Amino acid sequence: MLKQFLNLKLSQKLSPQQIQLMKLIQLPTQAFEQRLKEELIENPALENGKDEEEIYEKDEFDNNEDYDEFDDNESIDADEINIDEYLSDDETPDYKLQANNYSDDDDDRETPFAAQTSFHQDLINQLNTFILSDDDRGIAEFLVGSIDDDGYLRRSIQDIVDDMAFTQGIYTDEKAVERILNIIHDLEPAGVGARDLQECLLLQLKHKTPTEYVDLAITVIENYFDQFTKKHYEKLLTSCNVSQEQLKKAIEEIEKLNPKPGGSFDSSNRVVEQIVPDFTIRIVDGELELTLNGRNAPSLHVSKDYQEMLQTYKDSRDKSGSQKDAVQFIKQKLDSAKWFIDAIRQRQETLYVTMNAIMYFQQEYFLDGEETKLKPMILKDIADMVGLDISTVSRVANSKYVDTPYGTKLIKEFFSEAMKNDQGEDVSTLEIKKILKTVVEDEDKSKPYSDEQLVDILKEKGYPIARRTIAKYRDLLDIPVARMRKKI
């Protein structure tokens, strides 16, 4: 049986303004600038630059007394409204006329563009230097199109033969495709068109000038590739019947090769993303000095034209229904502009106080630069210091960078959990990782330390941790197991 009843309860919900503020806080400098540009375009009541006085006050027109005299059903002809008195003399805001990438005295404002050739187009251009029949050229171009960005041909020859027949109407056989593939193997960069890593390395070695060690490297890759990848050097010495020095030189030749030949071409044309630090920390007279990137503190003000429009309506005796709608729109845009300016100010304050707390919590590190001096620090530590929610601190730290005397750092890297040393003191896991990395870098590569040996070494240094923790930290530091670190 269905029943109706009332249920009263209290709940907390974020307002749309609070949600937008959280989103603004989360944005790094470059993304924030883009968001600012979007807001300036969307809200004509918001303008860039300083304004000495503001007529508009947010609460001044919050009451609806001025609207009560209107009849909701009253119809007013739009032609009776003089729109001109509500428009600015200059309908195009200044920010749309400014180019931020140039100073005022720059005359040449054309942006140069670098002409780039794609990896696959470069291969096609090289094919044009070969004399090929129409059928062979069709096969060659199809093979080039099947090569991935790393430079590999990941599909079987039989699949390629079938695909060409169904999609291109090119009927051929595996023998013909293999013949054309050998031509592609002669293209640059060396190793392009290989079907696996072994073939890729072999192609590059065969492009080298033959020497004793290059020939030995070819033998190793061609006949003992599995033993080489597993670093079974003793078996290689026996199988190849060479000295340890000869094998070492051959391996050095292999280590010079590129396992991703296509990647070398792509990297030369890739646009490098530039990191813009959100904060800067400097040491001035032995004291830390924190500054917020000025691009996070733009000068914004509410449009005077829009303020005057609202003031004109307030002073007007004759008020129409259409004017009411126009004024409601103006007021909405003015409220939005003032809120956005307030939100940016709150964002600046939140960013600054949070980073300031992090700076003084890790003062020893920022004064010295030694990573072992980083203290254990979690989000709650900073949240308690500044009186903010943990999620807010997380938003500040997660995607922001700080320029320090020791390089540009991602702020979240300063956070770490604590572990006890043999003295019972809390030490940062970052300190333990740093020591582990140093121990591995200084080890004898012919006899690298096992995880059990690393446990003993760190215990001697005052850090009693388990073997599984060593393995975990190794993975986080991208350090392979002992066998894969071994060098002859």
% of the chain residues with pLDDT over 90? 26
Is 410 in the same domain as 280?
Answer: yes
Is 213 in the same domain as 267?
Answer: yes
pLDDT of residue 312: 76
Contact between 351 and 278 (Cβ < 8 Å): yes
Confidence of residue 321 (pLDDT cuts 50, 70, 90): low
Is 281 in the same domain as 366?
Answer: yes
Is 234 inside any structural domain? yes
Last residue of a domain, one of 273, 293, 328: 273
Give the tens place of pLDDT for each residue, 418-458. 777 777 777 778 888 888 988 998 888 888 999 999 999 98
Is 281 in the same domain as 369?
Answer: yes
What pTM was estimated for this model as a whole?
Answer: 0.55
Domain with 223, as residue range(s), is: 191-273
Rounded Cα distance, 403 and 89, in Å: 44
Give the tens place of pLDDT for each residue, 50-92. 654 443 444 443 444 433 333 333 333 333 333 333 333 344 4
pLDDT of 325 over the 80 cut: no
Is 352 inside any structural domain? yes
Cis amide bond preceding 189, omega within 30? yes
Last residue of a domain, one of 415, 439, 461: 415
Last residue of a domain, one of 244, 273, 302: 273
pLDDT of residue 298: 83
Average pLDDT of every residue of the chain: 79
Give the tens place of pLDDT for each residue, 332-369. 888 888 888 888 889 999 999 999 999 999 999 899 88
Give the tens place of pLDDT for each residue, 220-274. 999 999 999 888 888 999 999 999 999 999 999 999 999 988 876 654 454 445 7
pLDDT of residue 264: 67
- For residue 428, list its beta bridge partners: 418
pLDDT of residue 420: 76
Is 372 in the same domain as 462?
Answer: no
Q: Provide the b/e sequence for 340-375 (b: ≥16 CB within 10 Å).
A: bbebbeebbebbbbbbbbbbebbeebbeeeebebbb
